[in-house]
Amino acid sequence: MRTSMRMFDVTKDSATDIAAAVVQPSEQGCSLPGTDVFYHAGTVTEQCRQALLGHAPATIWLTGLSGAGKSTLAYALEAMLLDLAHPCFVLDGDNLRHGLSKDLGFSAPDRRENIRRTAEVARIMNEAGLIVITALISPFRDDRKMARTIIGDARFVEVHVSTLATVCEQRDPKGLYVRARAGQLAEFTGISSPYETPLIPDLVLDTDALPLKDSTQTLLDLVAKRCFK
């Protein structure tokens, strides 16, 4: 443990004292419109979590074409952060489609729902104090804007893995471009469906121009600037 901190003693502190200390004013008594579902606050503050973990939470949202290097970068960054004793986790687009989003296809509405689910999970993990790294194509600006809104602007870090389409297609690690060119995959980003480049990303990385080690270090430097106090 990096530092000591006072936690609430539920046998001595009153429920009113605890609630006043941990619930944000905007959340007190908040309920879902038209329902009887109310927000229930915990007793551990964001500041306590940051003191324990040694960093502020954030979601590093990697976006780019299939084959751009998003997953490779995400897992390399995860390893570096864990080596530095910073708890983190990768939400990889393909992995999520094995469980959380296995009922979704690749139409625009399904892509949007996949991103919404991923963003909600990332938000919860951020509330737990973790650094989250997502690796999703997330091709549409409006969908990425929605993810930013869900996660919160202060915690959302948009990174464009800008590797050229020609390079991604040459790599084609999953054989998807070949299938898309053959008409076997509908709405494939970069072939039969557009990719909307981020307008003002926090970082742009071309994994063809910059080796993996250097790309990951650049990404780590950004995380350190945003998360390490």
Name residue 156's beta-bridge partners: 59
Closest by Cα among 154, 160, 122, 157 to 138: 160
Q: Are 118 and 136 in contact (CB under 8 A)?
A: yes
CA distance 144 to 113: 11
The pair of structure tokens assigned to 206 is 């071309």
Helix (H, G, I), strand (E, B) or coil at 107: coil
Q: Are 159 and 202 in contact (CB under 8 A)?
A: yes
User: Among all chains, which residue has been given the structure tokens 């940051």?
Assistant: 50
Which amino acid, 160? H
Closest by Cα among 200, 183, 202 to 192: 183
Q: Which of 66, 101, 138, 215 is catalytic?
A: 138
Annotated active-site residue 138? The verdict is yes
Catalytic amino acids? Answer: 138
